[in-house]
Structure 1
Amino acid sequence: MTLDSTPPTRVLGEGARTPAKRLGVVVVHDLVAAIVTGEVAPGDLLPTESELSNLFGVSRTVIRESIKRIEEKGMVRVVQGRGTEVTAQRSWNILDHVVLSTLIENDATLGVLDEVAVLRAELESVMARDAAERRTESAVEDLHAAMARMHAAMEDPTRFGDEDIAFHEVVMKMSGHIIARGIAQRLVDEARENSARFRIATPEAHRLTVEEHQQILDAIVAGDEHAAATAMRTHIAASWERRRTARSDEV
């Protein structure tokens, strides 16, 4: 399907006009949404600069800059003499904030967040295992301090969330991993940004989270690599299941 000969569709050009400084952001988001939803499929051409300019009501300069940003995400490529072609999904930078967040917002089944939880659990379980192996006295003190801050923040949902993440970051740092840590932190950021959709900031949820973190801490301090990995994987899976269930109950 080539949109350069079709009328505006559900995503492209939809909605009220936005202040000038935000126009490029809107264009990028809507074009990414058109691609991730399959409105424009791999191999299809995007409309021409002129047509997109008319669709969005913006200058061709804004369109040109927006296309460049989408190209940097690996979602399109400029084919000489043909136009701007949508690439196959394997070429996309899935961890890019706009790409991942748009995938999530267009996924009614929560399947993308399911994948995020699974991948994060696998990465962080490996890092918890290696944190147990490589623990030092200083690092263990940092982990205990992070745990204490979580306890102190039990009544404050926002602060509790911050301290929860801080605990995980201590474990990641202890592991010595660089690439896994970077990917996991990116997934944590995305999951947290979407957590507002899952309202489980309750005393019971906090209690369970603290208990699960304590199991992770105890295993790391004991140097039990298998237990540390299992506790981390179990915690992340259980935490996501609580959120998923809460979301399902609301729908």
Structure 2
Amino acid sequence: MRTPSAPLGVAVVTDLVGAIVTGELQPGDVLPPESSLSQQFGVSRTVIRESVKRVEEKGLLTVAQGRGTTVNPATAWNVLDPVVLSALVDHDDSLGVLDELTVVRASLEASMASAAASRQTPELSAALEEAYQRSVATFDDFETYIDADAEFHYTVMEQSGNLLAANITHILFARARESSRFTGAVTQEALVLTLAEHKAILDAIVAGNAEQAAATMHDHICGAWSRRRQSVSRS
């Protein structure tokens, strides 16, 4: 059913993507004709046509003349599309998507930390130190601290000079942060560990130790998710 509070086209797109991601619509399934979808969602056929086109652009559907509109396998989906990624994360009861996201993010950020270490200048080092110090200064204010935490990571990404990796990671990280499954139950002990790990990453990058920077960043991201995952699994 269409979400009443959302604009017509956006709601239809979100519902169709959700139905495909959850398996309500399986690969190879043929969508009902426009007239049926129009009645089902309570919108005009024009809205349905435009919505289907948007979902097709995300890789979830194939529209073929004479064969109708069929659902594509997951390998064809644009999983970095915000609507698709949101649906995957929102329906990730097993945490498998967030596990995969962590693996990809850890690999990309480790590579970027290595690159940042290789490109250090006094100005870049000062900027990274400043980002770290903002985390220290906001430690007792959780809402402000998590923003400072993210800013530290974004600073490393920017200093890597790898625009593509930074953009992909930014999309993954930003969407994951919106999920309570990703954030988990944050404890004081976890925050202390995170701050210490950031300091180790900072030291390795500023020292120009690319190998150590990569290893420390990779371990930090995987370790932080492992700690949060345990709290989510217990809840």
Give yes or no for TM over 0.5: yes
Secondary structure of 1:154's aligned partner = coil
Q: CA deviation at 1:210?
A: 0.5
Q: Within 5 Å, give how 1:1-251 maps onto structure 2.
A: 13=1, 18-19=4-5, 22-195=7-180, 198-250=183-235
The question of whether the paired residues in 2 share the 8 Å contact of 1:121 and 1:236 is answered with: yes
RMSD: 1.5
Secondary structure of 2:7's aligned partner = helix
Q: CA deviation at 1:131?
A: 0.8
Q: CA deviation at 1:197?
A: 6.1
How many residue pairs align between the two structures? 235
In 2, Cα distance between equivalents of 1:159 and 1:135: 27
In 2, Cα distance between equivalents of 1:105 and 1:196: 9
Q: With the length of structure 1 as denominator, give the TM-score of the two structures.
A: 0.89
Q: CA deviation at 1:56?
A: 1.3
In 2, Cα distance between equivalents of 1:68 and 1:156: 44
Gaps of 5+ in 1: 1-12
Deviations 1:38-66 (A, max 9, x none): 22222221111111111112221221121
Deviations 1:151-208 (A, max 9, x none): 0111111111111111111111111101111111111111111147644333222211
Secondary structure of 1:84's aligned partner = strand
The question of whether the paired residues in 2 share the 8 Å contact of 1:198 and 1:246 is answered with: no
Q: CA deviation at 1:89?
A: 2.0
Q: With the length of structure 2 as denominator, give the TM-score of the two structures.
A: 0.95
The question of whether the paired residues in 2 share the 8 Å contact of 1:124 and 1:232 is answered with: yes
In 2, Cα distance between equivalents of 1:199 and 1:73: 29
In 1, Cα distance between equivalents of 2:158 and 2:26: 40
The question of whether the paired residues in 1 share the 8 Å contact of 2:177 and 2:183 is answered with: no
Secondary structure of 1:42's aligned partner = coil
In 2, Cα distance between equivalents of 1:212 and 1:237: 12
Deviations 1:25-44 (A, max 9, x none): 22111111111122222222
